[in-house]
Amino acid sequence: MQVKQSVNDFVIKFANVNGTGSASANGMFAKAIFRMGIPVSPRNIFPSNIQGMPTWYEVRVSEDGYLGRRGGTDIMVCVNPQSMAKDVAEVEPGGYFVYDNTKPLDLRYVRDDIHYIGIPLTEICLREYTDARQRLLFKNVIYVGALAALLNMDFAVLKDLVGDQFKGKEKLITPNIYALELGYQYASNNFECPIGIRVESGRAVAKHIKDFDNILMDGNTAAALGAVYAGATVAAWYPITPSTSVVDAFDKYCRRLRIDPGTGKKNYAIVQAEDELSAMGMVIGANWNGARAFTATSGPGISLMSEFLGLAYFAEVPSVLIDVQRAGPSTGMPTRTQQSDILSAAYASHGDTKHVLLFPATPAECFSMTLESFDLAERLQTPIIIMSDLDLGMNEWMSPPLEFDDDFRYDRGKVLSGDDLEAMTERFGRYLDVDGDGIPYRTYPGAHPEKGAYFTRGTSRDEYAAYTEDGAAYVRNMDRLLKKFETAKSLVPAPKIKQAAIETRFGAVFFGTTASPAYEAIEILEKEGIDLDTMRIRSFPFNMDVEEFLKEHDRIFVVEQNRDGQMRRLLLNETYAPAKEKLVPILEYDGLPVTARKIATMIRNYITHGNVTPINRRRRAADAEEVVA
């Protein structure tokens, strides 16, 4: 049988039982390859359950620095009998199946086109450990050790990682390293190491990663840091997967950075609300009162917050909401990813409403966009919704390092201080469009003894915040809100546009976590002679670049991870370009991150079967590469 040969380019998947501590061992495995300087992208595919159910950890190793899912599995490390049938079937021909051969393998799982590597994990554990818990935990460390030998990993790197991991609990270091060695020894003694599929450090080109000065981190932590750097002092939230770790991380960093050493008092407040409605209300109240406040939630929370989002839009109270999307509708698949809250977020709440959305694609953007969102919210005096997702938020991604310019200063927007009010001769009108950009001036409660007090309400009001049922006043206010939304177009992050080397009528549009696999798919297609310009949308409302892109191409594939092509709909709704027939939906929505192969296939099929033939290829002057990978 053919032996699959591949250096620094393969997909390895671990099949475990959740709640058995496999996560940290698997994480160590991925981190080790990362430390060896080889691009890696690990993904946790876990159940909505706490203990005892099947869970998977998929690691893609890609010398080229492709970080999206590729599709297919080359090496399956199976530690969970429950899912073995499915797991065996998933291995690509020529691939490897690593399993616990303490008990002989069920013959039904024997394929003649893949390689089997048996390691008596249970047996070794029974021999080496007495304590049941230890037997469970070290099993994971042992197979990592074995993989080190099989895949030619740098054992020293693994040792260092163990050191880092158990900083503070030093006495755990030796037993863990010992367990690694048990696995390493067994593999080297019983198999010819390394196997055909393996890693080699020092040869990474990583053409997708600007330079290899990269970090490995999850998007939720990055977003939390963004909030810390933005000076957020109030976080109100209600627990929900996959957004919980945003506030957990915010809490962690605040405990480190925001506690006054002298008094031990906190320069921040985190409140676990009784539900999402309340969390959003607290965010609105705090922002109204001049603090920077945010919340993080997922789909069901968006639905529950929609009344308050309408209030914030209409009463013009800044607020920041991080939506870490999961598979809907309703409770859906809480531990699967999707990009399916686009429409509900953009138009949240009854009546004529529109909300500003940001679409981060990397942890670095989770950081920068969250940081930016507070300025945007206060400058525009409206909610800003950051549309992350489970894949980005809860998995570790290779990302450009987080950057912060110390000259950066917060823009708190149009706020009149006590002195401003004191100096003011004209009457203060909370909802007066003084500057013609649709954005009025606000004051904080308590700003001035006599001036600046106003009445905030969700009911119709005139320019001086007085209640009115006068149709003309209502319309003036609604039209100003529209104008403000126009102004927003000039403030939100512009899309990233990449032209194909070859001039083309085809375009591809995507955003968020769809970007990495999409960029890879575009390259796959390019090799086949199908060229597409690409636009990665980073915000809503859409600016002129988006309009242009739609105009300039006659077939545009909108790649997204939802059933209804929500971004495509939003583009139809909110751009001038008559692009309906042009916009081809490329959709994946099974809850797992879309793969490059899948995207390439769908676009290829459309073009070949839709017999849309690429025009003869003319080379174009290369332009700056965008880095999302």
Partner 1 sequence: MTYVKPAFRHPEAPINDLGYTRQVYEGGLSTLCAGCGHDSVSAAIIDACFELSIEPHRVAKLSGIGCSSKTPAYFLSGSHSFNSVHGRMPSVATGANLANRDLIYIGVSGDGDTASIGLGQFAHVVRRNLNMTYMVENNGCYGLTKGQDSATMDTGSSNKKGDVNLYSPIDLARLAIEIGATFVGRSFSGDKQQLVPLIKAAISHRGFALLDVISPCVTFNNHAGSTKSYENVRNSNEAMPVDFVPMREEITATYDSGETCEVCMHDGSVVRLYKQKNDYDIEDRQSALQAIHHYQSQGKVLTGLLYIDRDSEELHDVLGTARRPLNTMTEQELCPGSKFLDSINAGLR
Ligand X SMILES: Cc1ncc(C[n+]2csc(CCOP(=O)(O)OP(=O)(O)O)c2C)c(N)n1
Q: Letter for the amino acid at 568?
A: R
Residue 395: count other Cβ atoms within 10 Å of its Cβ. Answer: 25
DSSP string for residues in 505-552: SEEEEE-GGGHHHHHHHHHHHHHTT---EEEE--EES--HHHHHHHHH
Taking the C-alpha atoms of residue 41 and residue 591, their distance in angstroms, rounded to an integer, is: 18
514 close to 568: Cβ distance less than 8 angstroms: no
The span from the CA of 301 to the CA of 576, in Å, is 32
Q: Torsions phi, psi of 537, nearest 5?
A: -75, 135
Which does residue 581 bind out of partner 1, a second copy, ligand SF4, none, counting CB within 5 to 8 angstroms by kind?
A: a second copy
Site string for a second copy, 47-66 (x = CB under 8 A): xx------------------
CB 291 within 8 A of CB 268: no
The binding track of 486-525 with respect to ligand X, each residue x by CB under 6 A or -, is: ----------------------------------------
Q: Can you state the angle between helices 276-288 and 299-315, rounded to 10 degrees?
A: 30
> Which residues ranging from 168 to 227 are in contact with a second copy (CB under 8 A)?
none
Give the x-and-dash track for 5-44 against ligand SF4 (CB under 6 A). ----------------------------------------
237 near ligand X (CB under 6 A): no
Query: Which does residue 50 bind out of ligand X, ligand SF4, a second copy, none, counting CB within 5 to 8 angstroms by kind?
Result: ligand SF4
- Partner in contact with 349, chosen from ligand X, ligand SF4, a second copy, none, beta carbon below 5 to 8 Å by kind: a second copy
Sign of torsion over alpha carbons 501, 507, 512, 515 = negative
Interface segment toward a second copy; rule CB under 8 A; list 214-222, 311-319, 493-501, 532-540? 311-319
Provide the mask over 331-370, with x wherever binding to partner 1 is found by CB under 8 A and - wherever it is not.
x---------------------------------------
Cα–Cα dist 629/206, whole Å: 10
Beta strands 396-399 and 215-218: pairing type? Answer: antiparallel
327 DSSP β-pair partners:
333
Return the beta strands (E) in 80-180 as ranges: 91-100, 115-119
Q: Interaction with a second copy in 564-593: which residues (CB under 8 A)?
A: 564, 566, 569, 572-573, 577-581, 589-592
Closest C-alpha to 568, from 588, 554, 584: 584
Least gap, CB of 472 to a second copy (angstroms): 7
Q: Give residues 472-531 in contact with a second copy (rule: CB under 8 A).
A: 472, 474-475, 478-479, 482
- The piece of 148-156, 205-213, 234-242, 499-507 that touches ligand X (CB under 6 A) is 234-242
Stretch that binds ligand X, among 213-221, 238-246, 413-421, 492-500 (CB under 6 A): 238-246
Q: Does 48 bind ligand X (CB under 6 A)?
A: no
Asked if residue 237 lies in contact with residue 272, where contact means CB atoms within 8 angstroms, the answer is yes
Could you tell me which stretch among 102-110, 433-441, 464-472, 612-620 binds partner 1 (CB under 8 A)?
464-472
- The upper half-sphere exposure of residue 123, i.e. CA atoms within 13 Å in the direction of its Cβ, equals 11
Q: Is 300 in the site for ligand X (CB under 6 A)?
A: yes
CB of 275 to ligand X, least distance (A): 7
Told to check if 304 binds ligand X by CB under 6 A, we report yes
Q: Is 80 in the site for a second copy (CB under 8 A)?
A: no
Binders of a second copy among 450-469, rule CB under 8 A? 457-460, 469
Asked if residue 556 lies in contact with residue 509, where contact means CB atoms within 8 angstroms, the answer is yes
Residues of 3-35 as b/e, b for ≥16 C-beta within 10 angstroms? ebebbbbbbbbbbbbbebbbbebbbbbbbbbbb
Q: What x/- string results for residues 326 through 345 when contact with a second copy is judged by CB under 8 A? A: -xxxxxxxxxx-x-xx-xx-
Q: Does 377 bind partner 1 (CB under 8 A)?
A: no
Buried b (16+ CB within 10 A) or exposed e, 139-149: bbbbbbbbbbb
In 3D space, the residue among 419, 531, 431 whose CA is nearest the CA of residue 473 turns out to be: 431
Residue 224: strand, helix, or coil: helix
Q: Is 50 in the site for ligand SF4 (CB under 6 A)?
A: yes
Residues of this chain that bind ligand SF4 (CB under 6 A)? 50-51
The binding site for a second copy (CB under 8 A) comprises 47-48, 299-300, 302-304, 306-307, 310-311, 313-315, 327-336, 338, 340-341, 343-344, 347-354, 457-460, 469, 471-472, 474-475, 478-479, 482, 562-564, 566, 569, 572-573, 577-581, 589-592
